[in-house]
Amino acid sequence: MTAAMVDGGQTGAGRWWDYLLQTWRELDVPDGWRAEIDEGQIRLVPPPHAHHNAIVAKIQRALYRVLPEDWEIYQTLGIQVVPLDKVYVPDLVVMPSSLVDESDPAKTDPVDAAEALLVAEVTSKGNARDDRTKKLWAYAHAPVPLYLLVDRFDEHGPTATLFAEPENGAYTHIERIAFGKPLVLPEPFGLSIDTAAFPH
C-alpha cells in the first residue's frame, strides 16, 4: 500500500506515519511476538530463544537492586524514535514510571524513546544485524543516553557492549566486553552485572 492510497491521492509523510501508527495500535499480535515500525513498514518480530529471555531476566534482576522507586523496567513497551519515525519494542527499557502510568488508558501509543534512561537489546540469530546497526543508529538519534547491546552471535564470541554519551546521532563512548567479565553501568545506575551468568 502506498501513501497515495492512504490519503486519497495527496502524498504526505505525516499522513502515512499516522496511518502506520494507527495500524500498529490496532494490530492483534500473537502471544510472544512484537510489532515494530521501521523503514515505513510494520514488522513482526518472532518470540526469542529461551537463552535470550534468560539474559534479559538476569539484567532486570540486577537493575532492580539499584532502581529508585519512581523508575521502572519494561519488556514489552513500544518506544518511538521521534526524529526518525520508528517504533521499537526493546527487550528491556528503563524509564520513569510516571510516563507509563499517566499515559492515556484508551490508547496504546508508544512512549518517546528520548525519555528512556537505558535501552537493552539481546541479539537473536535473525535480528542481530538490526540490533548492531539500525537500532544503534536510531537510539543514538532519539537520543537514548545508554544503549546496552548483548550480542550472543558476535563473530569474536559473545559480547556485551555499552554505548553512551550520544551526540549528533552517534554514541561517543563505547565499552565492549566478552562474556565472563563484569559489565559496568555508569551513574545513574552505578551497577556491575556479572555476564558470566549469561547463557549463550
Q: What is the pTM of this model?
A: 0.87
| Residues listed for the chain | 200
Range 39-67 average pLDDT: 92
**How far is residue 140's CA from residue 65's CA, in Å, rounded to a whole number?**
26
Read off the pLDDT of residues 78-131 as tens digits, 9 standing for 90 and up.
999 999 999 999 999 999 999 998 877 766 789 999 999 999 999 998 889 999
The pLDDT of residue 198 is above 50: yes
Please give the full DSSP string across 88-110, using - where no structure is assigned.
Answer: E--SEEEEEHHHHHTS-TT--PP
Please give the full DSSP string across 39-64, using - where no structure is assigned.
Answer: TTEEEEEPPPPHHHHHHHHHHHHHHH
Residue 16 has a pLDDT of 85
Read off the pLDDT of residues 16-37 as tens digits, 9 standing for 90 and up.
888 888 899 888 888 888 999 9
Residue 7 has a pLDDT of 39
Cis before 188 (ω within 30): yes
Residue that is written with C-alpha cell 521499537 in the block: 88
What single-letter amino acid sits at 64? Y
**How far is residue 168's CA from residue 170's CA, in Å, rounded to a whole number?**
6
The pLDDT of residue 1 is above 70: no
Reported in sequence order, the residue ranges of the chain that DSSP labels E, i.e. its strands, are: 34-38, 41-45, 71-74, 79-81, 86-88, 92-96, 111-112, 118-122, 146-151, 159-167, 170-178, 182-185, 191-194
Residue 175 has a pLDDT of 97
Neighbours of 111 (CB within 10 A): 19
| Beta bridge partner(s), residue 64 | none
The pLDDT of residue 3 is above 50: no
**How far is residue 127's CA from residue 2's CA, in Å, rounded to a whole number?**
26
Neighbours of 44 (CB within 10 A): 11
Q: Are 67 and 94 in contact (CB under 8 A)?
A: yes
**How far is residue 81's CA from residue 32's CA, in Å, rounded to a whole number?**
23
